[in-house]
Amino acid sequence: MSQENSMPLLTAIVPVTRMAGRLERMKSWLEDVSQLDLEVIIVHDKQDEVTGIEIIALCNSLNNPNVHLIEKYSGSPGLARNVGLSMSSGAWICFWDCDDLPLPEKILGVVSELDKQTEIVIGQFELVDNLSEKSKYLSRSKTLSDLVLNPGIWRMVFKSGLIRNSEFTKFHLGEDQLFLLQHGPENRRILFTDEVFYKYFQGVPDQLTSQKNKIGDLFEVCKITSANLIDRKNEDQDFAILVLSKNALTCIKEGLPGLKVLTMRLFFATIARSSWKTKLLLTVAPIRIVGRILHERT
């Protein structure tokens, strides 16, 4: 903690659920943060007893008063984050997944140098194969448009005053994108840094992004994003349009036939009721996204 203020510089909120026997990665970074200006709030979304036993043992072994454990059934990562958010005390707040590897020292190094006007910091991330632990990809995000391909909230840091009274939705997919959209990122002071904040592991068992039975949640996110478009000024619509288009493309690609049809109907209905400028942006958005995907692969 800071010598001048008992408020920690950064609070990290980490939901945990059904992770029995798989806490080693989280343990590896938790053991190294005792001297950092960091509060960690672990929210165990209690859905099995064994995970609870292991997470309690881990927290007790750390002997770190700045690591707090809350056990409560929440039902989704977003609702678990809300529990942690209500108890956070840091000047800045971030959200990490328990099966990945955040880089706290790098994050704190950037946050400690921020000016008072900055409201959101977005770092880069490394995509790592869970089995081989080999790096597959390193992000190069410089703008909100770049962010739409990989909008994971785990590489973002928010000024606490901006989000402390906010809430995530119950959805298992896309809830982090709704959280970001509700804070009007087009009108926020955002710093994109070249520092790598996070190692995201792909292919982890039970990873939500690989569970096709959760795609229905992403369709619900599309419906909310579509409904909210009409309330945004034209100059504030671009990121929301890209998010809607990206999620709609995912639903069409991964969803069952019925969901594919519903998604296409929603997308075309959104175009039909929009202003001429929004119609144009919605029409070209899928092409822009495909172009960015191809660019990222080069």
Tens of pLDDT, residues 171-203? 999 999 999 998 989 889 999 999 999 999 998
Cα–Cα dist 234/274, whole Å? 10
Q: What is the pLDDT of residues 88-138, one digit of tens each?
A: 999 999 999 999 999 999 999 999 999 999 999 999 999 999 989 899 999
Gap between the Cα atoms of 254 and 246, Å rounded = 12
Both structure tokens of 147: 């962010």
* Stated pTM of the model: 0.92
Distance CA(216)–CA(223), nearest Å, equals: 11
CB burial of 108-117 (b: ≥16 within 10 Å; e: otherwise) equals bebbeebeee
DSSP single-letter state for residue 188: S
> Cβ distance 186 to 235 under 8 Å?
yes
DSSP string, 5-68: -SS-SEEEEEEE-S-TT--HHHHHHHTT-TTSSEEEEEEE--S-HHHHHHHHHHHHHH--TTEE
| CB contact set of 57 (below 8 Å; sequence gap of 6+) | none
Give the H or E element holding residue 181: helix 175-181
In this predicted model, what pLDDT tens digit does every residue of 204-235 receive, in sequence order? 876 655 567 789 999 999 999 999 887 776 66
